[in-house]
């Protein structure tokens, strides 16, 4: 069974109210918009919006990637996490 592609952000795994609010502030308010932007760009946009704040990689980058694949961020493979980290450095 395929999941709908345009659920509210808070219906996605790893995306709670606070993260959804922050995504809204950078113009991402639905699953479809997050898919269009992608995990890496969403993370980069948040870093740009909140430059003085330390954004834990697991709370944002991994959470977004997991949300797009309907899995908990901690279940991403070590290799995938490494590639994601490399993409933002």
pLDDT of residue 53: 83
pLDDT of residue 89: 84
pTM, to two decimals: 0.88
Per-residue pLDDT tens listing for the chain (89 residues) = 455 678 899 999 999 999 999 999 999 999 999 999 999 999 999 989 988 888 776 779 999 999 999 999 999 999 999 999 999 98
CATH of 9-88, one of 1.10.10.10, 3.30.360.10, 3.40.640.10, 1.10.150.20: 1.10.150.20
pLDDT of residue 51: 87
pLDDT of residue 56: 78
Domain residues of the chain, as ranges? 9-88
Instruction: Supply the DSSP string of the chain, one letter for each residue.
Output: -PPPS---GGGSTT--HHHHHHHHHTT--SHHHHHHH-HHHHHHHHHHHSTTS---TTTTHHHHHHHHTTS-GGGS-HHHHHHHHHHH-
């Amino acid at each position: 069974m395929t999941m709908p592609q345009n659920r509210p952000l808070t219906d996605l795994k790893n995306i709670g109210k606070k993260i959804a609010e922050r995504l809204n502030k950078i113009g991402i308010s639905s699953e479809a918009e997050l898919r269009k932007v992608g995990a890496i760009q969403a993370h980069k946009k948040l870093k740009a919006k909140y430059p003085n704040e330390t954004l834990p990689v697991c709370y944002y980058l991994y959470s977004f990637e997991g949300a797009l694949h309907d899995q908990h961020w901690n279940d991403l493979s070590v290799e995938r996490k490494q590639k994601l980290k490399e993409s933002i450095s």
